[in-house]
Every structure is written in C-alpha cells, then in structure tokens.
Amino acid sequence: MNININDIKNGMTVIIDGNLCMITEFQHVKPGKGSAFARIKLKNLRTGAIVENTYNTNIKIEKAHVDKKNMQYLYNDGTNYIFMDLETYEQLEVPASKLESDAKWLKENMELMINSYEGEILGIQLPEKVEYEIIETTDAVKGNTTNNATKDATIETGAVIRVPLFINQGEKVVVTTSDGKYAGRA
C-alpha cells in the first residue's frame, strides 16, 4: 500500500529504496523559498543501520505490514533462542544475530512480541519493565555517599546493571529493558 509522505508517523514501517525501514524521526520543512520537503531518520530493520535522508513531499512511499506475534521465551540452545507461540504451541528458533543486545534481557517463560515481515524474523519487542533477581553485587565503597550513588549488580540473565547502594544480593528489582536502568524494587 502506498502512502503520501505527509501521512508518515514515528514507528511506521516502510519500504524505501528497496529497504525495509522503521521511521524513528521525521520533520516536515517548509522553507521560505522553494518546495517543502520531509527530513526522515530511518532505521534499516535488516541491518540496524540508521540513515537520515530528505524527500520531496509529492512522492509516495510503500507502507510495510510487520506482523507482531505474542510468544514465550523458552531457552537458548547455544546458537538459537527458542520461542513458543502461545496460541498454537509451535516452537520457533531465532538466530542470536537477530536479537542483538536484547538477548541479555531474556529470561525463561518471559512473554514478548516477535516482529516479522513476510515470514522473515526481524527481532523481538521486550516488555517495557521486567523483574529480575540480583545474583551478585559489589560492596558499597565506604564514604561513597554522593547523590544517586550506585554500584554494579549482576542480574539472573548475566547482564550487569547499576543499582543504588542499598540493593543486596538475592533481592528482586525492576529494570527498564530499553535502556537497562534500575527502575525500583520489585
């Protein structure tokens, strides 16, 4: 389906120059002289590359329909991550290369969305906030009581996050998966 470039929105998936891209930012510019144009920042969903281009406002672009399927993470077999469809109970293997940095937030039985385009797996969409158990933490340094003092802590998936000094091993914390920041105690 073709859409007018004036109808685009952030988060929309489009096909531009043969590449499957997601619009991360856009700006319509109407200069005093000359014709209007759109400045668009695109993330290539296959390579992860981010580019910024300008386009005439009279062109049409192809909108791509990305399927989002609710799945449950089961386990990692060493090279692939195994997910289960919550409706059909079919299992799906996703290569580690498709998950990039999101893999460090996966824990068994976690429900999430898997994005695909015409059968090709593009990646996963994690829940915004997830509860994890702290399995290891460094000791607080004596005298380090400045505002917002933090220390390293390893969560059950092996990822290292920064937590306040009062958090100890064995406690459960909530982490924002988009940026890996501590969001509070569970």
pLDDT digits (tens, 9 = 90+) for 1-38: 788 888 888 888 899 888 899 888 999 888 888 888 88
Same domain, 59 and 71: no
Q: Report the phi/psi class of residue 170: left, alpha or beta, with left for phi > 0 and alpha for psi in -120 to 50.
A: left
Residue where one domain finishes, among candidates 105, 125, 145: 125
Residue where one domain finishes, among candidates 45, 63, 81: 63
Range of the domain at 42: 2-63
**How many domains does the chain fold into?**
3
Q: What is the pLDDT of residue 45?
A: 84
List the CATH number of the domain containing 111.
Answer: 2.40.50.140
Residue where one domain finishes, among candidates 84, 106, 125: 125
Annotate 63-87 with b (16+ C-beta within 10 A) or e (fewer). Answer: ebeeeebebbbbeeeeebbebbeee
Q: Which residues of the chain have pLDDT under 50?
A: none
**How many CA atoms within 13 Å lie on the side-chain side of 114?**
27
pTM, rounded to two decimals: 0.74
Same domain, 120 and 135: no
